[in-house]
């Protein structure tokens, strides 16, 4: 049993299980039966104070171990996961018309996206699993005897491949053939076994889930493995801690499967339950127009469990999801915090790449710049205003998709000045472009 965890509760039937009773989902509800990890907050509050977190041993996200569902015996990945900067962006705030903006730069993670928080958690949980052959008691601490698998639009896969490489754990990855080249290059470089699926992310997920069950691999899939939310929630802890526990008014984040926004919600809920913050920010979920399942469900009030999948199309590959796998938690994050969902066009997403870079210094991939496009929309619609302190989640690095960044720059008219290799030509060009 894990110290601070009291139970795993099914989000559909609300039945609760001990943490050693089920591995992933509520058995009554199969793959849909996503569970929430519940904690004994009194016990946590008795062992750790928020002032002490900064000096807790363990780098990055492991400083919050007292609030995480992990066994203290199991090794952590040697890579630094977490501790990403919260970058003040006053020019962006002025342009959008809100009081303050900070950009949480998750592009600074070891594999360059927020997914490292979840994949690091997956590696630790996989090593906690009882050894499969049954003749060793305790955990399967030999990393090479554990195989971890996931399907992904690219970043969760790159994160898992990188974390696994750092710990010598074999990884089997299923990605759609349309994943950006940089993400596939990361997988191959990290030495993962890569299944490039001729089909969308949703198909890759189905294939991965089936193979995991057949082979007994540890399953990291989003919206199935309950601990991914618990890894991602550490981003909310860092935001609150960096703002000296004065929670922002709103947090804007792009949404594909809904796991990140659900994780942020969980993190802020934990902090509120511990009395470390006094309110939860409004969570503003941003989806691409061509992949707007959760916006539609939120607008229409239809049932998130029975609304059929859509066929997603967007340049923002990391938020392309026909049937968001973590949609129960994703929807609840917005409704329970009195937030909103907004949709943005691919053109707005691309233009937001140079926009965010120019106004804050943070270089984002399309799924991350979508948050800025969404903040602009939320401001236009009056969902955020001049009194608000806002955190913008930049979930992945611009280097993940150089093609999109190039298209975004071209869309806002940013282009290089071609110049012959001599000083006079340089001076002529500078004069022509009024650069002094």
Ligand X SMILES: *Cc1c(COP(=O)(O)O)cnc(C)c1O
Q: Does 365 bind ligand X (CB under 6 A)?
A: yes
Q: Which does 50 bind (CB under 5 to 8 A by kind): ligand X, Zn ion, none?
A: none
Which residue among 396, 398, 401, 408 contacts ligand X (CB under 6 A)?
396
Size of the site for ligand X (CB under 6 A): 17
In whole angstroms, how close is the CB of 16 to ligand X at the nearest point? Answer: 24
Which residue among 66, 184, 240, 367 contacts ligand X (CB under 6 A)?
367
Residue 397 DSSP class: B
Residue of 85, 57, 53 whose CA lies nearest to 72: 57
In whole angstroms, how close is the CB of 68 to ligand X at the nearest point? Answer: 18
Q: Lay out the site mask for ligand X across 88-127 (x = CB under 6 A, - = otherwise).
A: -------------------------x-x------------
Q: Compute the C-alpha angle 357/360/362, nearest 5°.
A: 50
* DSSP per-residue string spanning 166-212: HHT--EEEEEETTS-HHHHHHHHHTT-EEEEESS-HHHHHHHHHHHH
Q: Which does 291 bind (CB under 5 to 8 A by kind): Zn ion, ligand X, none?
A: none
Q: Does 155 bind ligand X (CB under 6 A)?
A: yes
Query: Which residues are CB-neighbours of 75 under 8 A, at least 6 positions away?
Result: 124, 127, 141, 167
In whole angstroms, how close is the CB of 155 to ligand X at the nearest point? Answer: 3
In the β-sheet with 86-88, what is the strand arrangement from edge to edge?
Answer: 86-88, 100-105, 389-394, 250-254, 282-288, 340-344
The 10 Å CB-count burial string (b at 16+, else e) for 77-88 is: bebbbbebebbe
In whole angstroms, how close is the CB of 415 to ligand X at the nearest point? Answer: 26
Contact residues toward Zn ion (CB under 5 A) are 10, 12-13, 26, 28-29, 33
Q: Does 252 bind ligand X (CB under 6 A)?
A: no
- The nearer residue to Zn ion, 3 or 32, going by C-beta atoms, is 32
* DSSP per-residue string spanning 218-245: EE--TTTSTHHHHHHTHHHHHHHHHTTT
By DSSP bridging, strand 16-17 and strand 5-10 are: antiparallel
- The nearer residue to ligand X, 165 or 260, going by C-beta atoms, is 260
- The nearer residue to Zn ion, 22 or 182, going by C-beta atoms, is 22
- The nearer residue to Zn ion, 36 or 105, going by C-beta atoms, is 36
In whole angstroms, how close is the CB of 76 to ligand X at the nearest point? Answer: 22
Q: Rounded to an integer, what distance in angstroms lies between the CA atom of residue 39 and that of residue 371?
A: 30
Q: Which does 257 bind (CB under 5 to 8 A by kind): Zn ion, ligand X, none?
A: ligand X
Q: Rounded to an integer, what distance in angstroms lies between the CA atom of residue 191 and that of residue 352?
A: 33
Yes or no: say if 352 and 372 are a contact pair by the CB < 8 Å rule: yes
In whole angstroms, how close is the CB of 339 to ligand X at the nearest point? Answer: 14
Q: Does 186 bind ligand X (CB under 6 A)?
A: no
Residue 382: exposure state from Cβ atoms within 10 A (0-12, 13-18, ≥19): exposed
The interface region with ligand X, picked from 233-241, 306-314, 364-372, 422-430 by CB under 6 A, is 364-372
Yes or no: say if 190 and 183 are a contact pair by the CB < 8 Å rule: no
Q: Does 295 bind ligand X (CB under 6 A)?
A: no
- The nearer residue to ligand X, 201 or 217, going by C-beta atoms, is 201
In whole angstroms, how close is the CB of 48 to Zn ion at the nearest point? Answer: 31
Q: Which does 274 bind (CB under 5 to 8 A by kind): ligand X, Zn ion, none?
A: none
In whole angstroms, how close is the CB of 27 to Zn ion at the nearest point? Answer: 8
- The nearer residue to Zn ion, 16 or 193, going by C-beta atoms, is 16
- The nearer residue to ligand X, 132 or 310, going by C-beta atoms, is 310
Compute the chain's Rg from CA coordinates: 22
Q: Three-state DSSP class for 5?
A: strand
CA dihedral sign, ordered 287, 288, 294, 298: positive
The interface region with ligand X, picked from 25-33, 60-68, 341-349, 365-373 by CB under 6 A, is 365-373
Yes or no: say if 265 and 240 are a contact pair by the CB < 8 Å rule: no
Which residue among 5, 319, 351, 373 contacts ligand X (CB under 6 A)?
319
Q: Does 339 bind ligand X (CB under 6 A)?
A: no
Residue 30 DSSP class: G
Binding residues vs ligand X (CB under 6 A) = 113, 115, 155, 254-260, 318-319, 365, 367-368, 395-396
């Amino acid at each position: 049993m894990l110290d601070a965890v009291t139970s795993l509760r099914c989000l559909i039937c609300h039945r609760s299980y001990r943490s050693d009773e089920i591995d992933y989902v509520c058995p009554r509800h199969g793959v849909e039966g996503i569970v929430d990890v519940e904690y004994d907050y009194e016990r946590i509050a008795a062992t750790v104070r928020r002032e002490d977190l900064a000096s807790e041993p363990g780098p990055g996200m492991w400083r919050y171990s007292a609030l995480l569902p992990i066994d203290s015996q199991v090794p952590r990945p040697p890579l630094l996961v977490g501790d990403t900067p919260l970058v003040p962006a006053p020019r962006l705030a002025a342009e959008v018309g809100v009081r303050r903006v900070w950009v949480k730069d998750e592009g600074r993670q070891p594999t360059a996206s927020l997914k490292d928080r979840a994949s690091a958690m997956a590696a630790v949980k996989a090593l906690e699993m009882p050894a499969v052959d049954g003749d060793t008691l305790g955990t399967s601490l030999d990393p090479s005897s554990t195989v971890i698998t996931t399907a992904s639009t690219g970043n969760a896969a790159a994160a898992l491949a990188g974390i696994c490489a750092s710990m010598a754990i074999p990884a089997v990855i299923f990605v759609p053939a349309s994943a950006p080249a940089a993400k596939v290059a990361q997988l191959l470089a990290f030495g993962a076994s890569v299944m490039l699926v001729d089909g969308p992310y949703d198909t890759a997920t189905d294939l991965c889930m089936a193979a995991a069950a057949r082979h007994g691999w540890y399953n990291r899939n989003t919206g199935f493995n309950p601990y991914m939310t618990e890894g991602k929630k550490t981003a909310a802890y860092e935001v609150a801690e960096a703002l000296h526990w004065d929670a922002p008014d709103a947090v804007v984040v792009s949404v594909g499967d809904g796991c990140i926004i659900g994780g942020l919600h969980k993190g802020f809920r934990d902090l509120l339950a511990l009395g470390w913050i006094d309110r939860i920010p409004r969570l503003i979920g941003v989806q691409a127009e061509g992949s707007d399942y959760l916006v539609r469900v939120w607008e229409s009030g239809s049932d998130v469990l029975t609304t059929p999948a859509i066929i997603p199309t967007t340049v923002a590959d990391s938020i392309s999801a026909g049937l968001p796998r973590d949609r129960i938690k994703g929807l609840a994050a917005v409704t329970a915090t009195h937030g909103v969902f907004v949709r943005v066009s691919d053109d707005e997403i691309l233009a937001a790449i140079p926009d965010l870079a120019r106004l804050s210094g943070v270089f984002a991939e399309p799924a991350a710049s979508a948050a800025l496009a969404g903040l602009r929309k939320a401001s236009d619609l009056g969902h955020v205003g001049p009194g608000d302190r806002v955190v913008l989640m930049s979930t992945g690095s611009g280097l993940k998709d150089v093609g999109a960044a190039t298209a975004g720059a071209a869309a806002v008219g940013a282009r290089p000045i071609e110049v012959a290799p001599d000083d006079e030509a340089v001076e002529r060009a500078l004069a022509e472009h009024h650069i002094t």
